Amino acid sequence: MDTKKMIMAGLIIAIGLGVGVLIGHYAVPHAPKAAKDHKPLVGTTTPATAGASDALKALLEDVKKTPAQGGFVRRLVHAIDSAKIEEHLKFLAAEPHVAGTAREETVLANYIKEKFTEYGLDFVKIASYDVLLSYPNVSDPNTVQVVNISSGEVFFDAATQEDVIPGVNSDIGPAFLAYSPPNDVLGNLVYVNYGTNEDFDMLQQMGVDINGAVCLIRYGNGYRGQKVRNCAARGGVGALLFLDPEQVAREGLDNVFPNSTWMPDTAMQRGSLMSVGDPMTPGVPALPSTERIDIAFAGLPPIACQTIGYRDARKLLNMLGGPLAPQSFVGGFNMTYHVGPFADEHADKYVRLRVNNLFSVVTVNNVIGGIEGAVEPDRVVITGNHRDSWGYGASSPSSGTAALLELARVLGQMKSKNIRPRRTVLLCSWAAGEYGLIGSTEWVEEHIIDLQAHAVGYIDVDQCASGPAFAPTSSPTLAPAVQAAAHLVPGLTQPGSHQTLFDLWKSYVNEGSNSTEDPEPMACHGASDNAPFNFFAGVPTIGIGFAPDWKKYGTTTFPAYHTAYDNLYLYQNLIDKDMTLAKMCAQMNGAATILLSDSVLLPMDFRKLAQRLKASVDDMEARRIAFQLESVGISLGPLRMQIEKFRNASEEWHTYIDSLETVKPSPGEAAQRQDDER
């Protein structure tokens, strides 16, 4: 690890501590520290109290005064209608809706705006940004060929998009990787496994030269953009990415879509090669008045790259000679793996990679709707998901958008009966999420001051359902909120049972072991719209969704992710036939949203954040990162001291809160009791 990466690792931990302190800042009401003329995000300002002690007393008095609302969460959960979710899904995923296109920014954005208005939300807004996107050149698609060096004769031509399946919507146009620079390159071919630094180090030790080569890389074990940059850093001139059947065709190459959820051999995973936000306005919102940096300084990938199907990847692998591949490089093909370059019989050939991507600054539209809080209108709970897709996007993201719309309907219905949450709830349909979480990031950048002062939490529903296994994520502090919400959602996959979603989750996690421990949400990641809230604004987040059997397969990514085959046929016939998963997702989102927006004392546990921070520093030391940091004059000692102070403070806080109740109920009883009191 180089010095810059070591320093960044330390900074990430330090930032994590800062986030913890920031989250703790929201445990009790307080006066925002924004300038006097700075308007809050929504609503009016909650009256401030003299200090933490007075604030806690005020909260406890408020508990006594709060009128019962007849089981807010139970009413919401039972009002969720799977038929209405399905109706939305069919409209959203009827056609491809790539960010920046008329279907996405006009038809679907207006559909959501109109539904939010129809459902009676207090306000509905469009938040637009002018951002840099890239698209394939439909009239001159990107090509991958094997050509004779001397004559230019084409020996092999890779497919440019998936095979269209008769009777199934599966034509979404040429495949591409967003932000790959246009170029026309020639080079020998080297198979670099997952394209990690460790993989490249292994190849270097084997004497394999990457300089001037095209890297053949399989998806998995890392972000696609980093794989490409690793190839460029070792001297590669181009990169080809493919889905390995080991990951997307685990039951054999014959048992694939449309007969199963596994992918056929022309499936191509599209995706962005950039990090979060608009590349030309880093750190600031992409408003019309914002000054843009030159595209040359926008950090675009340094080399041309393209995605291909595993049918073509196998043909390329079969042409390689050179050293035998290490065992860790062997994938799902029944063949002898070599790392390259081309074998002697193909020594007169090179790979030719032509990328003709087009770049354009386009307007993208977030849709924001809200229910104003009854008691603390300036405190905000946000839930949302991105709306755009690389194709039809039935599972990712339209199952989440459909569930979000159904939550909006039910919240509006309850509002019409004068049932409002304590705090304001925002429902957000983000634009251009597939290009690097652009819509959510630009909005967070625009409202960063207000969010840091007023946001309680963010709940993301990117992929409501891509498989049968509940797979929630959360910031450490919000793990209790996830558990409590799951206790309030019926376990619909067991008809006639009184099991809750929490029961199903616990049974799944503990299956095959002797453990009786309660399940914990997985750690948040940076691949969904929670990222700008978590890692930029310091707002704790929750992610809700059902995924493939992640215990069995070791991943929550479903095989059709970002391919032409993530369509209505896949979703309705192979993933969620009766919309049960989408319904539970909407119910879970509603329960978590109400727990955060209507509980007088927020369901947060700061001790869990302290534990996570300590574990992260311990991990840095176990991997000798701490030693490397010390070699450049950076000590983790002060960081450990601050984490310990934070741990002590969190323990004292929760000890005091626990002392307020003589009998501590179970999480399920506590959640139900809180719901009954509302």
Chain segment 25-46, per-residue pLDDT in tens = 333 333 333 333 334 566 555 5
Do 177 and 270 touch, CB atoms closer than 8 A?
yes
Comparing CA positions, the residue from 273, 294, 297, 305 lying closest to residue 361 is: 294
pLDDT reported for residue 68: 41
Strand ranges (E), 467-619: 469-470, 473-474, 522-523, 541-543, 546-547
Q: What is the pLDDT, as a whole number, of residue 624?
A: 85
CA–CA dist 287, 278 (Å, integer): 11
- Return the half-sphere exposure (C-beta side, CA atoms, 13 A cut-off) of residue 357: 26
**Strand residue runs (E) in 336-375:** 349-355, 358-371
Looking at CATH, the fold of the domain delimited by 72-132+362-598 is given as Aminopeptidase (3.40.630)
Token pair for residue 652? 């004292």
Please tell me the distance from the alpha carbon of residue 551 to that of residue 522, in angstroms, as a whole number.
Answer: 12
Burial annotation 593-610 (CB, 10 A radius, 16+ → b, else e): bbbbbbbbebbbbbbbbb
pLDDT of residue 251: 94
Residue 341: cis peptide before it, omega within 30 degrees of 0: yes
Distance CA 378, CA 32 (A): 10
Residue 520 burial (CB count, 10 A): 15
DSSP secondary structure of 50-94: SSHHHHHHHHHHHHHHSPP-S-HHHHHHHH--HHHHHHHHHHHTS
Residues 6 or more apart in contact with residue 618 via CB below 8 angstroms: none
> Distance (Å, rounded) from C-alpha 221 to C-alpha 251?
21
CA atoms within 13 A on the CB side of 470: 31
From the CB of residue 139, how many other CB atoms can be counted at a distance below 10 Å?
A: 7
218: which DSSP letter?
Answer: E
* Residue reference for tokens 């340094």: 302
Nearest to 465 by CA among 361, 573, 585, 597: 585
Q: Are 473 and 524 in contact (CB under 8 A)?
A: yes
Q: Which residues pair with residue 470 across a beta bridge? A: 546
CATH architecture type of domain 143-356: 3-Layer(bba) Sandwich (3.50)
Closest Cα to residue 363, out of 177, 132, 134? Answer: 132
CA distance 455 to 442: 16
Confirm if 488 and 73 have CB atoms less than 8 A apart: yes
H or E element, residue 383? strand 376-386
What is the H or E stretch that residue 185 is in? strand 183-187
- For residue 273, the number of C-alpha atoms closer than 13 Å in the C-beta half-sphere is 27
CA atoms within 13 A on the CB side of 215: 34
Q: If you ran DSSP here, which 8-state letter would residue 558 be given? A: -
Peptide bond into 397 cis (omega under 30): yes
**Are the CB atoms for 164 and 172 separated by under 8 Å?**
no
Q: What ranges do the domains of the chain cover?
A: 72-132+362-598, 143-356
Structure tokens at 285: 């919102």
d(CA 470, CA 546): 4
Query: Which parts of the chain have pLDDT scores under 50?
Result: 1-39, 48-50, 64, 67-70, 662-666, 669
Query: What whole-number distance in Å separates Cα of residue 317 and Cα of residue 410?
Result: 53
Residue 293's nearest CA partner among 301, 302, 284 is 284
337 closest CA partner among 348, 323, 347, 351: 323
**Strand 189-191 relative to strand 214-218: parallel, antiparallel, unpaired?**
parallel
Q: CA distances (Å), 169 to each of 94, 365, 391, 434, 468, in order?
A: 9, 26, 10, 20, 23
Neighbours of 293 (CB within 10 A): 12
> How far is residue 51 from each of residues 10, 25, 377, 600, 658, measured CA to CA in Å?
33, 12, 20, 17, 20
Q: Quick one: which of 164, 116, 384 has its CA closest to 264?
A: 164
Both tokens assigned to 93: 């995923």
For the chain, give the number of residues.
678
d(CA 174, CA 143) in angstroms, rounded, equals: 10
With left for phi above 0 and alpha for psi between -120 and 50, is residue 400 left, alpha or beta? Answer: alpha
> What 3-state class would DSSP assign to 644?
helix
Q: How confident is the model over 333-392, as pLDDT tens digits?
A: 999 999 999 999 999 999 999 999 999 999 999 999 999 999 999 999 999 999 999 999
Report pLDDT for 58. 60
C-alpha triplet 472, 476, 481: angle, nearest 5°: 60
* Residue 160 to residue 162: CA distance in whole angstroms: 7
- What is the Cα–Cα distance from 560 to 390, expressed in whole angstroms? 11
Q: How far is CA 631 from CA 2, 619, 639, in A?
A: 12, 18, 17
Q: What is the DSSP letter of 344?
A: G
Rg (CA), the chain: 26
* DSSP state for residue 342 in the 8-state scheme: B
Give the C-alpha separation, 283 to 536, whole Å: 9
